[in-house]
Structure 1
């Protein structure tokens, strides 16, 4: 079983799955589609565990963080670093989009192919609807909707509908109140949270066994359904995005290596497993257990900080999405012949940062839809443009997740400043899964068990007799 668990962490195995999946997509499409369907089950399982893992990790992580030196300043540092890294990626995407201008010099054939793709998608991409009446009421309703998204009046409703911002707000409030209680008051509840947390981590860990199947099916699906003309037309955008994401990933790895005082190759080797899972899984939450283990046990950062920041960052720290949204806005603006001035660049950078946080809790196509925030501010066609980027999403999804993952690890590294290395003294001895909580054990003697069995038989007989009597009447 241990050898089977190492398969998702092997770059050679995943590369082989990509090659075999490409062959299956070209010559055995039904096999590839079956593997792709199994891969979607894997993504559903991981996403199912994402929200409860976020909630429990915030409770448990805040509790541990309150015991560290200067907890208030450390939490503020984490939030500022998270916002700063997302804004930095949006800035890099804006500069790269303006400098490279990938959508500015497309050929007539490329324009024609993109136009055919938009038209073949059907619908009313170019239709604009205007409300002539009740605009003030509509605006008020929108503000109320935005307020309830941020501060919901019903936590269970926010959980059921998957409103990530509302879940975050409720979780922070409850977690801060929980952390303010004494250790004696929260001993039992702390053990319950710890057990739930480890259970969800184990669920994701077991689900990662399907990762090679997902990689195989995704490669087959991409080869079978992505037109070569689209890749040719979008080649400039894909190239700029991959180069920008690669440079930022190297910068994040260098920051982690400097913080741990190890070489860049050693830091990359320690983070190899979470990087592979994050790059290939198609979801930001699949690498949470591997990331916490790598940042705490292998690189020596505080486990309390890692257990708080990593689940939070997997959902909300969308640095890769910020880079992607800024490049999308620049590409679409150049595609429609709009020149970008300084005010437009500032607007793209700010809107891409906001859109990255607005896409929290969404993966794949649902996350791309947040790019409409940036495009609408520039008065560019949202629906028509997003159709083009959905066609190449499978290529860009992995680098987006990888950049977000390494940005989260950078926050852990920088927020752990001033703390001693939290390496386990005896790595062979596993940690107690229930922490310091008291485990209640029920022990019965044979005589007590016989008495319980006799009472059960007598009770069952009485119920049968009563039933017969009621039926006879």
Structure 2
């Protein structure tokens, strides 16, 4: 079983799944379609467990962070670093767009392919709606952004609809109120939350066994359903984005290694599991348990800080999205021969960061809708992004999530400066958090077990006889 659990964290295994998936997508499409459907079940399982895990992990992290020295300064530093990293990625994407100029020198054939795809889908492309206030069904319009997404009027409604940004806000308020209570008042609820936390971690760990199947199915789906001409026409954009995301990810790993005082190779080895999960899972929340464990137990950062920042970063620190939105805007501007000046480039960098925060809580193709914010400021057609970039989203989603994850880890390393790990490992948690009184040990002799089994049989027989009697009457 332990060997099976190591498969999702093995780069050679996942690479082999990619290669086999490409072959299946090209020659055995039904097999790839079945694996892709199973992979979507994996994503559903992880999302189901990740939302309550986000709540509980942030609850513990906020409670412990408020008990540390200068908690206000650390929370302020966390927010400042998160905003700064997202903004820097937006600026980096803009500069890379100016230097590499993706979409500027496309061939006539590539222009024809992209133009036909946009025209063919223009009848189905909806408008990107941005509203500050919305009620009822209007608030759930796809692509719309409402103020109630940030501060929901119904916490259970936010949980039911999976609105991660609203869940995050409610969790912060509840955690701050709970942290104000004494330990005696919260001892019982702490034990309940701890059990829920470990159960959700175990559920995600078991669900990650399906990660190779997801990788295989996604590769097969991509090969079977993405037109070769589209990939060729978009190859310039894809290449620039992959190189830039990889370079910024390496810079983030170097910053983490410097802050935690380990080598670059050591930091890379410690972060291997969460990096692979983030790169291949297609969801920002699947790597939360691995990331908390890697940053606290392996790299020595404060576990309280990690439990607060990592779930927060999975929703809020969208550095990869900021980079992506900036490049998307420059590409669309070049595609439509829209000239840009210095003021336009500054607007792109700032608006890409704003759009990244607006996409909080949306994964995959659903987050691309926020690119319409940047495109609309330059009066560029938003449907171009919705059509062209949804088609290649499976290629760009992994690097985008990876850069966001490593940016979050960099925030953890910086905020944890001067602190030691303040929680015991999971194996020792049950015996150290509440003492031996929290453990309930049950021991039975064979005679007692036989007596219990006999009583169970007699009770079952009595129920059957009663049921027969009621039926006969």
Please report the TM-score for the alignment, with normalisation by the length of structure 2: 0.89
1:361 aligns with 2:361: yes
Larger mean CA deviation between 156-165 and 201-210 belongs to 156-165
Q: How does 1:221-370 map to 2 (within 5 A)?
A: 221-370=221-370
Q: How does 1:125-136 map to 2 (within 5 A)?
A: 125=125
Question: In the TM superposition, what is the alpha-carbon distance from 1:461 to its structure 2 partner?
Answer: 11
Quick one: structure 1 residues 433 and 149, their matched pair in 2 at CA, closer, same or farther if it must change by over 3 Å?
farther
Q: Which residue, out of 434, 437, 441, partners 1:436? A: 434
Question: In the TM superposition, what is the alpha-carbon distance from 1:440 to its structure 2 partner?
Answer: 7.8
Quick one: structure 1 residues 128 and 279, their matched pair in 2 at CA, closer, same or farther if it must change by over 3 Å?
closer
Describe the SS at the equivalent of 1:349: helix
Q: What is aligned with 1:42?
A: 42
Q: How does 1:75-114 map to 2 (within 5 A)?
A: 75-114=75-114
Q: What is aligned with 1:180?
A: 180
Whole-angstrom distance in 1 between the partners of 2:128 and 2:355: 23
Whole-angstrom distance in 2 between the partners of 1:280 and 1:444: 44
Q: How does 1:1-80 map to 2 (within 5 A)?
A: 1-80=1-80
Instruction: Spell out, residue by residue over 1:176-196, the C-alpha distance to the aligned partner (whole angstroms, 9 max, x if none).
Output: 001111111100111111111
Instruction: Spell out, residue by residue over 1:392-413, the C-alpha distance to the aligned partner (whole angstroms, 9 max, x if none).
Output: 1111011001101100110110
Describe the SS at the equivalent of 1:105: coil
**Gaps (5+ residues) in structure 2?**
140-145
Question: In the TM superposition, what is the alpha-carbon distance from 1:443 to its structure 2 partner?
Answer: 7.5
Q: What is aligned with 2:169?
A: 169
Whole-angstrom distance in 2 between the partners of 1:373 and 1:392: 20
- Does the aligned pair in 2 maintain the 1:98–1:340 contact within 8 Å? no
1:219 aligns with 2:230: no
Quick one: structure 1 residues 56 and 98, their matched pair in 2 at CA, closer, same or farther if it must change by over 3 Å?
same
Whole-angstrom distance in 1 between the partners of 2:12 and 2:457: 61
Whole-angstrom distance in 2 between the partners of 1:129 and 1:441: 55
Question: In the TM superposition, what is the alpha-carbon distance from 1:55 to its structure 2 partner?
Answer: 1.1
Whole-angstrom distance in 2 between the partners of 1:2 and 1:461: 43
Whole-angstrom distance in 1 between the partners of 2:186 and 2:391: 50
- Does the aligned pair in 1 maintain the 2:113–2:230 contact within 8 Å? yes
Question: In the TM superposition, what is the alpha-carbon distance from 1:95 to its structure 2 partner?
Answer: 1.1
Please report the TM-score for the alignment, with normalisation by the length of structure 1: 0.89
- Does the aligned pair in 2 maintain the 1:297–1:422 contact within 8 Å? no
Describe the SS at the equivalent of 1:22: helix
Q: How does 1:155-166 map to 2 (within 5 A)?
A: 155-166=155-166
Whole-angstrom distance in 1 between the partners of 2:29 and 2:463: 59
Whole-angstrom distance in 1 between the partners of 2:77 and 2:48: 30
Whole-angstrom distance in 2 between the partners of 1:442 and 1:298: 31
Q: What is aligned with 1:195?
A: 195
Q: What is aligned with 2:118?
A: 118
- Does the aligned pair in 2 maintain the 1:198–1:433 contact within 8 Å? no
Q: What is aligned with 2:373?
A: 373
Whole-angstrom distance in 1 between the partners of 2:35 and 2:72: 47
Q: What is aligned with 1:385?
A: 385
Instruction: Spell out, residue by residue over 1:191-231, the C-alpha distance to the aligned partner (whole angstroms, 9 max, x if none).
Output: 11111111111111111100111111111111111111111
Instruction: Spell out, residue by residue over 1:89-123, the C-alpha distance to the aligned partner (whole angstroms, 9 max, x if none).
Output: 11101111122111111111111000121233362
- Does the aligned pair in 2 maintain the 1:313–1:408 contact within 8 Å? yes
Whole-angstrom distance in 2 between the partners of 1:330 and 1:433: 56
Q: Aligned pairs, how many?
A: 459
Quick one: structure 1 residues 141 and 192, their matched pair in 2 at CA, closer, same or farther if it must change by over 3 Å?
closer
- Does the aligned pair in 1 maintain the 2:165–2:315 contact within 8 Å? no
Whole-angstrom distance in 1 between the partners of 2:175 and 2:92: 34
**Gaps (5+ residues) in structure 1?**
131-137
- Does the aligned pair in 1 maintain the 2:430–2:439 contact within 8 Å? no
